[in-house]
Chains A and B, each alone.
Chain A
């Protein structure tokens, strides 16, 4: 113990990488190929006597408490290191609410006394795992599907797209279909819905989905009887298995389906990057592991590009897909692990003393941070 801590004082302590997803949290060390743990983003709340999700909060204090408990669990039950005087790479979505970032910073710096925090956005970290200069990152996670174009390590901010088309949406749709199959309101807990999805559901091809919408249904895949302790088995019809994830591809007048937001993102990017982006798509996030999802997305993209409004405005014909060197659900995390190790974490981290002075974080949406130094309005912003 003393020997190692002694060495660590000379060397920099190996930093940790934290990816606090809405459903699952990935936590581990920089420079390693996989996170040490992937656990649900929830903890046992002793006062409420139930598992509480980190993202269930009503007040900033409640969020603060949630984060304190979650990090305690991660540091002392899973990764087993002292948080004190150790750097953290935080993998964050560019859509993270300011309150969440600020509270997380407060918890890390004041409650756990970490020595520095590197704030890194997930699209760029995902692109980092490819080493390719241009990438279109389609992250389908727990709550949201996010599409971001990364061009030469810059996220094209105005082209970013997000829609609530992820695991939550699939679970809601699956729960509805299961109620139909069993002719009753099942009210299954979320982990059983998730288990049914993981074990039985898949995404069908475009044509088959169209046949399901037509009057002549195709012959469905095999039905499954899913046993649940303490009640009769739940019938999972073949149709349910095939259509649970259809909600991601449902097109309406607003053109807000998953392939639509991918194309819209490309469309809003600079014209000289579009072809490259379409040829460098990376589909990540836990939901991307659903069998058939990538195939369907590719199929939809190749079809929709021939349809209005895209055919006249988007002149790309070729879609190519990358494979990340890590499981889909840990892609952004792996990027963080590489980035944190390569940098030494030193240069880009917000050190604790800087945070203690400023009490705020740089943020891309904030005019303080995104007004160029020579801009005429710069002088009106006081820091």
Chain B
């Protein structure tokens, strides 16, 4: 829970320069780089309703405008509406001859309405009749402007078509007209043909379709909506007027009065898959079932990159040395060699362009333009200011692989080492010394950064001819938040 609720005291620097906690980072096993939500490519994987957990194929979701057909939101407070049943006595004309012949008709009928358990709004409040079936069948409202917009669409489509034909004609005649204001007038493209139309010039004989001929432009009128006469005398009932969020929940109608509110069909949610931009491999892919929170592919940094946690630290004072206790964890299934260094000591990334197979390099060169431009725009140097410097121990540290069985042992090893505080399975506690700059101001945020060099065993299944199962030396920079400077 601490990951979710607490501030991020430890941040990693993503390969794109963003600072993120380890829980929101990914690790591409193919590029061997840390990635984050900012520098990866998100994709819609599947649509589902978060309320009834019903999957909806994308084509159907598109038809239904991404709305669930059986769930509704309250138009007043946006909580999910519940379907409630009532028994309605069917009204029957009183039969003077005695009623035992139609007993079965007198059975009370179950009727349904929608009700909000949060704000007590019901579909009866706005006069929507109760429905005989529990789900679906609720009256739909048509957009009042749909007809006119469709007329406009037909009109402009016809004009665009006509213009296209004219253009073809012109090209055929090798007749070029260069307008003075070409970039200005040609932007929406409806210009030439429309101007011709307005000027009453004969348009292309084939192009003057019925859509153009029958179109009636909007008519301006002298009249504008006036204020209602009773506005100065009428008491304002705030409960009868909708708020902006209530209006905008249905962009087509935007009701101003509470009496015009209508249940809002629930917007679907999507499951997203994520892809590395550099190599196009999936980083996460969720399971299709909406009820499942598992992933088919889940390349999270949390499973691949050594995790750093602050155990405790002394208050940071300007010009003084303070102790900092951190815990390092190896999440991988392989032994890890670690070394701490100063962030500036990370060797510059040499172009590790290995000899590739021909088809791979060809593929790369095809994608090169896209890759280079995309990465350049997204990557940026990390911006952080560390007030303190960590004295990094010289030697390498060894971290055992993760062993789920070892979780139950309780034999913490206390090393005699003055740097390693204790060691337990794949975890290691370090005592580090932090030197703070003497000029640090009282109350300024205190932080420190260090880099970790770690060995990583690549376990990508052997797919290509390239040697697999190789050991790599990777680097990552960690930024620790040490509270405030205490003078």
- Residues of A with Cβ closer than 8 Å to B? 1, 3-5, 7, 24, 26, 28, 31-39, 47, 61, 64-65, 68, 72, 76, 78-82, 84, 106, 110-111, 113, 119-121, 124-125, 128-133, 152-155, 157, 194-195, 198-200, 202-205, 219-222, 224, 226-227, 238, 279-281, 291-292, 294-295, 297-298, 318-327, 329-330, 334, 337-339, 341-344, 347-348, 353, 356, 362, 364, 369-370, 372-374
Contact = CB atoms under 8 A, between A and B. Distances in A.
A48 B189 CA distance: 43
Given A33-B149, A120-B187, A153-B194, A327 B160 contact: no
A330 B248 CA distance: 11
21 contacts: A1-B45, A38-B248, A76-B270, A79-B66, A80-B61, A128-B188, A131-B155, A131-B215, A153-B190, A199-B236, A222-B234, A222-B235, A224-B236, A226-B238, A326-B149, A327-B252, A339-B156, A341-B153, A348-B188, A364-B184, A369-B183
Interface of B: 19, 38, 41-47, 57-59, 61-62, 65-66, 143, 145-146, 148-150, 152-153, 155-157, 159-160, 178, 180-191, 194-195, 198, 215-228, 231-236, 238, 241, 243-244, 248, 251-252, 254, 267-270, 272, 369-370, 373-374, 377-378, 380
Contacts of A338: 149, 152-153, 156
A72 B44 CA distance: 11
A198 B220 contact: no
The 8 closest A-B pairs by CB, nearest first: A342-B156, A320-B220, A325-B148, A4-B59, A130-B218, A33-B149, A110-B377, A34-B252
Given A227-B238, A295-B224, A347-B160, 12 more contacts: A34-B143, A64-B377, A113-B41, A153-B185, A153-B190, A154-B181, A226-B238, A292-B231, A324-B218, A327-B252, A373-B178, A373-B182
A320 B222 CA distance: 5
B256 to A, nearest CB: 8
A36 B251 contact: yes
A121 B185 CA distance: 11
B227 A131 contact: no
Most chain B beta carbons < 10 A, residue from A26, A113, A338: A338
Most chain A beta carbons < 10 A, residue from B61, B185, B244: B244
B243 A154 contact: no
A356 B220 CA distance: 44
Contacts of B218: 129-132, 322-325
Given A84-B43, A343-B160, A221 B149 contact: no
Most chain B beta carbons < 10 A, residue from A38, A79, A204, A337: A38
Given A132-B218, A295-B224, A195 B244 contact: yes
Chain B facing A: main interface SS:
mixed
Contacts of A39: 248
A291 B65 CA distance: 32
A133 B251 contact: no
A24 B248 contact: yes
A353 B43 CA distance: 22
Contacts of A318: 222
A80 B149 contact: no
Nearest to B7: A49
B251 A327 contact: yes
B267 A78 contact: yes
Contact of A154 (B178, B185, B369): B185
A319 B223 CA distance: 9
Contacts of A220: 232
Nearest to A298: B224
A111 B243 contact: no
B378 A4 contact: no
B66 A4 contact: no
B149 A325 contact: yes
Given A61-B380, A224-B236, A342-B160, A334 B178 contact: no
Contacts of B216: 131
Contacts of A219: 232
Contact of B152 (A35, A36, A131, A203): A131
A179 B187 CA distance: 48
B377 A325 contact: no
Nearest to A194: B244
B223 to A, nearest CB: 8
A48 to B, nearest CB: 12
Nearest to B159: A342
B225 A294 contact: yes
Contact of B184 (A130, A353, A370): A370
Given A80-B44, A110-B373, A31 B185 contact: no
A219 B198 CA distance: 51
Contact of A1 (B57, B153, B155): B57
B251 A37 contact: yes
Contacts of B155: 131
